């Protein structure tokens, strides 16, 4: 299994996960909360890193660099999913108040304040609106971000055989 093949599978996985997110939003009518938006950006970042790696077709040290950036983007997404899972586990009386939609915040607030508000999460982020096999949406994103972190770690620490330049 070549590293190009692995990164290609990661690109397809991220694209599929984003397609599911947009399906849930536009077909099922589930409005994404601020933390959901940030998780989407995590999958976009991981997919972009994997796409660049796929197109580049690195060897040796290059695989380690792309693996590092995959761990960085997917690990950030995993942290955001963990934050939302924590909010969902809070008792009702400790859940933060609901906030405005991301679209509204982007219209009236500077982007840095939007990011700060989104990272804190709102009461919308604590609401569980969909489950599959007992896991909520951030539970599933945490599973997939964990998988991407593992792939990135494998790409970082995998032993690569040096090419024998004399034999072609």
Greater model confidence, 38 or 50: 50
Tell me the pTM. Answer: 0.80
Q: Which two tokens stand for residue 140?
A: 């599933």
Q: Could you read off the pLDDT of 87-108 as tens digits, one per residue? A: 877 777 766 666 666 666 777 7
**168 pLDDT band (50/70/90 cuts)?**
very low
pLDDT at 164 over 60: no
Closest CA to 62 of 72, 52, 75: 52
Report whether 59 contacts 3 (CB < 8 A): yes
The Cα 97–Cα 121 span in angstroms is: 9
Q: Could you read off the pLDDT of 6-38 as tens digits, one per residue? A: 999 999 999 999 999 999 888 988 888 888 888
The Cα 123–Cα 92 span in angstroms is: 9
**66 pLDDT band (50/70/90 cuts)?**
very high
Closest CA to 145 of 3, 9, 17: 17
Q: Which two tokens stand for residue 117?
A: 């508000």
Closest CA to 84 of 40, 114, 28: 40
**60 pLDDT band (50/70/90 cuts)?**
confident
**84 pLDDT band (50/70/90 cuts)?**
confident
């Amino acid at each position: 299994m070549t590293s190009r093949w692995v990164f290609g599978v990661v690109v397809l996985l991220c694209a599929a996960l984003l397609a599911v997110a947009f399906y849930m939003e536009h077909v099922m009518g589930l409005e994404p909360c601020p933390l959901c938006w940030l998780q989407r950006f995590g999958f976009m970042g991981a997919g972009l890193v994997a796409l660049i790696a796929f197109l580049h077709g690195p060897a040796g040290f290059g695989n380690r660099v792309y693996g590092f950036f995959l761990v960085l983007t997917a690990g950030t997404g995993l942290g955001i999913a963990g934050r939302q899972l924590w909010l969902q586990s809070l008792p009702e009386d400790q859940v933060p108040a609901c906030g405005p939609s991301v679209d509204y915040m982007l219209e009236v607030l500077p982007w840095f304040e939007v990011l700060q508000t989104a990272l804190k999460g709102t009461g919308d982020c604590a609401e569980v609106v969909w489950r599959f096999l007992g896991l909520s949406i951030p539970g599933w994103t945490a599973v997939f971000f964990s998988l991407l972190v593992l792939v990135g770690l494998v790409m970082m620490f995998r032993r690569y055989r040096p090419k024998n330049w004399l034999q072609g």
